[in-house]
Amino acid sequence: MVRSILTMALLLSVLACAVAEGEEMSGPEVRLANNEIRVNFSLILDVKHVKEIREGIDKELKLYIDLFRVWNVWPDEFVLGKFYSRRMKVDPIKKVFVTMSYDGNVIIERRFRSFESMLAWTLSVKDLKLTSTRELEPGQYFVRVTAESKIRSLPPVIGQFLVFISENEFKVKKDSGYFVIEGGR
Residues in contact with 125: Cβ distance below 8 Å, sequence separation at least 6, in sequence order: 39, 40, 41, 42, 63, 65, 84
What percentage of the chain reaches a pLDDT higher than 90?
10
* 27 within 8 A of 127, measured Cβ to Cβ: no
Would the pLDDT of 62 be above 80? yes
Report the 10 Å Cβ neighbour count for 29.
Answer: 14
> Treating both helix axes as pointing N-terminal to C-terminal, what angle do 47-54 and 115-122 enclose, rounded to 10 degrees?
120
pLDDT at 2: 47
CA distance 83 to 145: 10
Would the pLDDT of 74 be above 60? yes
Angstrom CA distances, 76 to 35, 66, 133, 140, stand at 23, 12, 18, 10
Quote the mean pLDDT of the chain. Answer: 79
Fill in the DSSP letter of residue 95.
Answer: T
CA distance 16 to 67: 28
Segment 68-83 mean pLDDT: 87
Q: How far apart are CA 65 and CA 113, in angstroms?
A: 29
- Asked whether the predicted pLDDT for residue 100 surpasses 80, the reply is yes
Question: Which of 2-6, 47-51, 164-168, 171-175 is the least confident region?
Answer: 2-6
Q: If pLDDT is split at 50, 70 and 90, which confidence band does 19 have? A: very low
Of 107, 65, 116, 67, nearest in space to 86 by CA: 107
Contact in structure between 67 and 141 (CB atoms under 8 Å):
yes
Q: Residue 91 has what pLDDT?
A: 84
What is residue 49's predicted lDDT score, i.e. its pLDDT?
Answer: 83
Specify the pTM.
0.75
Identify the CA nearest to 99 among candidates 58, 41, 137.
58
Q: What type of residue sits at position 156?
A: P
Please tell me the predicted confidence (pLDDT) of residue 167.
63
- Selection from 49, 21, 25, 32 nearest residue 127 by Cα: 32
